[in-house]
Structure 1
Amino acid sequence: MGMTFVALGVAFGFSYNFGSVVAPMRASLGLSAGQAGWVFSVFPFTFLALSGVTGRLADRYGPRPMLAVGGLVLAAGLGLTATAGHVATAVAGYLVVGVGVSCAYVPSVANVGAWFVRHRVQAIGIAVTGIGAGTVLGPIVTAALVDALGWRRTEAWLGLAAMVVLLACAAAMPVAARRRHADATWTAGRLAGDPMFRTLYASGFAMGLVLYVPFVFVAPMAEQGGVTPIRAAALISVIGFASTAARILFGLVAGRVGVVTAYKATTVTIWASFLIWVPSRSYWVLLVFALVFGAGYGGNIALMPAMLGHYYGIDSLGTVTGVMFTSASVGALFGAPLAGLLIGASGGYLLPAVVTFAVATLGTAGQVFLPKVHRSGTP
């Protein structure tokens, strides 16, 4: 669990820091807001789209080789971004970063889920707080390094640090024992035929369109209002702080009310945050938005593997979790660029905030009516 915490903190902390790099990158490469959105959006698209593959590989080979590959690939992606002279190279760099994070995320989280039985929800919640911790520290550290070294050297040094840490985590991570002959296995084909999973998948697509927009545009939105770059980057750190606390809090709540009820609460919290974002006009309202969004986002990410384990069992948890994450991949690819186009067309952030809220409403509606148990049972 400790190695997963560290690995996820580094992988996501050095990826979700894009808000601290985007302004100097745009100035250096001459990027529009829409182009900057594409640079970041290929990262969540890639790591989500490949999650079904890396989850299946983790079920077969375990988390250690996947985590080692993830460290090497993540470093290569950040290094490629550091050399970018054109938007295409920057996009390719963050695409490679997404491959690295995909190798680290689902395999390590599924390993924690398979290791614990009685306290699985709490264990996963604590392990994935590493994502929140990384999101807290990553943007602030990155902003300070960019100010001292420039964005290119910062990306290169972060890539080297990520490789060293993830390789060390791969060597030290304990691996959960798996049953040699599983009684039941959920494959991608079986999941596609399951009505409840199709509902989860459709709502996941809608949420994927909106979940990554704040990571790209909340800091530039604050800067447009006259806030300094460091204070603007702190909003991303607030999201990380709130998500860190929420992962533990919602894990405790799930222990009392059940993982499905707690998961629904996280989805409603995300929806409420976008309702706050729509009328935001000041830094302090954006700060409240960051707190509420971070809480919902962190709790949702923490409880999703446990919720899927509740419905589909643990023998195929890597596969089920990975396939589920692909639902948000297309949305993650197009969400930030579309928001950038709306910003460019309207000259402000009100229109994208309204559209984001409307899409979040659709995604929330698909999850609040989930049953407490999987009625069709395991295959």
Structure 2
Amino acid sequence: MRASLGVTAGQASWAFSVFTCTFLALSGVTGKLADRHGPRPLLAAGGLLIAAGLALTAAAGHIAQAVLGYVAVGVGVSCVYVPAVANVGAWFVRHRVHAIGIAVTGIGVGTIVGPIVTAALVEAIGWRRSELWLGIAVLLVLLACARATPVAARDDRAVVVWPVRHLAGDCMFRLLYASGFAMGLVLYVPFVFVAPMAVQSGATAIRAAALISVIGFASTAARILFGLVAGRCGVVTAYKATIVAIWASFLILIPARSFPGLLAFALLFGAGYGGNIALMPAMLGHYYGVNSLGTVTGAMLTSAGVGALLGAPLFGLIVGASGGYLLPTAVTFAIVTIGSIGQVLLPRRHPASSLS
């Protein structure tokens, strides 16, 4: 895409940042809609929006059009992720943590398989036609899911326990939200910069790119592993363990200037990141109940929206200004430390509720 549109890496990175920001920022809206109407209409809408966005990007003659296409993809993904996860959380009672963990392993599998399939398609038919075929595949799969997904029984008379206005006044949720914003500033930085860091350390381009797959492998395995830990130790304890793993990985990243060091970072970061994704909905369900799980999960994800938009570009600016990675990695470690404190200190139960 960069070669075809004649843009720099920094300009091209906005497509990723805008997509991620859009997905996270709109999750509060789609989560609330899922609580009211169930996941099926949102899954169908998500398939249509993702396909349309990829088609628009495939026809792009300018980077602005490609970015607009990925805005549409972000809206589509926001219609898929939270509604699907909230439905799983509401469907399962005894094994909720395990069910959500297994369900979201699909993200990890996609992270592993997607780049391989996409690379093969691009080599065979070019990136524009690849975008079109990927959009068609997503559309067909999500329409099938919209038709086949069993919907958790809901009481139409039930009042959402935690609407957004109540969450905004809840001290614990405000702490979680502030922590989520700080974490959002750094969580997506590795996906953009770990490969360039490896290349600068002397690794080949293939080995450097493989670090992203390592994150995907570790993330996939951790979603199930931390689910098992949650079954034994409780979801709050397991969730805190994922935060500690993320924090420790950024501590490793500061001095990491060789491929083995970056590999260790990728493994630990992937494990913490994957476990965190798997356990966050279950953790929120533990504190706020499942009647409003879509609303609460969606609202929480919006906290990382601005961070996801600004994190990678800001990291790139610091790299350019400092001429290396020592200062940027130290700054990210300081930010992740701030974001981790509030989540590590979470109480066992919500102080103002008996929800479980």
Match of 1:64 among 20, 29, 40: 40
Deviation at 1:183? 5.7
Alignment of 1:118-133 (within 5 A): 118-133=94-109
Deviations 1:60-102 (A, max 9, x none): 1111110111111111112222222322122212111111110
Question: In structure 2, how many angstroms separate the alpha carbons of the residues matched to 1:177 and 1:310?
Answer: 19
Tell me, what secondary structure is at the counterpart of 2:291?
coil
Which residue identity lines up with residue 104 of structure 1 in the other structure? V
What is the match of residue 357 of structure 1? 333
Question: In structure 1, how many angstroms separate the alpha carbons of the residues matched to 2:112 and 2:18?
Answer: 22
Match of 2:310 among 323, 334, 339: 334
Tell me, what secondary structure is at the counterpart of 1:366?
helix
Mean Cα deviation higher: 309-318 or 346-355: 346-355
In structure 2, relative to structure 1, the CA distance for the partners of 1:184 and 1:87 (3 Å cut) is closer
What is the match of residue 247 of structure 2? 271
Tell me, what secondary structure is at the counterpart of 2:310?
helix
Deviation at 1:233? 2.7
Contact kept, 8 Å, 2:318 with 2:328, in 1: the verdict is yes
In structure 2, relative to structure 1, the CA distance for the partners of 1:282 and 1:129 (3 Å cut) is same
Question: In structure 2, how many angstroms separate the alpha carbons of the residues matched to 1:51 and 1:310?
Answer: 19
Match of 1:88 among 49, 53, 64: 64
Contact kept, 8 Å, 1:139 with 1:233, in 2: the verdict is no
| Sequence identity (%) | 76
Deviations 1:293-331 (A, max 9, x none): 110000001000000000000111100111011111111
In structure 2, relative to structure 1, the CA distance for the partners of 1:343 and 1:264 (3 Å cut) is same
Establish whether residue 306 from structure 1 lines up as the match of residue 306 from structure 2: no
Match of 1:153 among 115, 129, 132: 129
Question: In structure 1, how many angstroms separate the alpha carbons of the residues matched to 2:150 and 2:302?
Answer: 27
What is the match of residue 190 of structure 2? 214
Establish whether residue 375 from structure 1 lines up as the match of residue 351 from structure 2: yes
Which residue identity lines up with residue 89 of structure 2 in the other structure? G
Contact kept, 8 Å, 1:143 with 1:230, in 2: the verdict is no
Deviation at 1:195? 0.3
Match of 1:203 among 179, 182, 198: 179
Q: For this pair of structures, how many residues does the alignment match?
A: 355
What is the match of residue 221 of structure 2? 245
Cα RMSD of the aligned pairs, angstroms, is 1.7
Deviation at 1:201? 0.3
In structure 2, relative to structure 1, the CA distance for the partners of 1:191 and 1:59 (3 Å cut) is same
In structure 2, relative to structure 1, the CA distance for the partners of 1:279 and 1:82 (3 Å cut) is farther
Question: In structure 2, how many angstroms separate the alpha carbons of the residues matched to 1:140 and 1:286?
Answer: 21
TM score, norm. by length of structure 1: 0.89
Question: In structure 1, how many angstroms separate the alpha carbons of the residues matched to 2:233 and 2:340?
Answer: 19
Contact kept, 8 Å, 1:58 with 1:66, in 2: the verdict is yes
Deviations 1:248-278 (A, max 9, x none): 0101101111111110110110111111122
Deviation at 1:133? 0.7
In structure 2, relative to structure 1, the CA distance for the partners of 1:90 and 1:350 (3 Å cut) is farther
Establish whether residue 42 from structure 1 lines up as the match of residue 2 from structure 2: no
Contact kept, 8 Å, 1:206 with 1:359, in 2: the verdict is yes
Contact kept, 8 Å, 2:198 with 2:257, in 1: the verdict is no
Mean Cα deviation higher: 214-223 or 283-292: 214-223
TM score, norm. by length of structure 2: 0.95
Deviations 1:133-165 (A, max 9, x none): 111111222233333333333222222211111
What is the match of residue 111 of structure 1? 87
Which residue identity lines up with residue 59 of structure 2 in the other structure? T
Match of 1:348 among 320, 324, 345: 324
Which residue identity lines up with residue 92 of structure 1 in the other structure? L
What is the match of residue 185 of structure 1? 161
Deviation at 1:228? 4.1
Which residue identity lines up with residue 325 of structure 1 in the other structure? L
Match of 2:147 among 147, 171, 185: 171
Specify every segment of 5 or more residues in structure 1 that has no aligned partner in the other structure, as ranges. Answer: 1-24
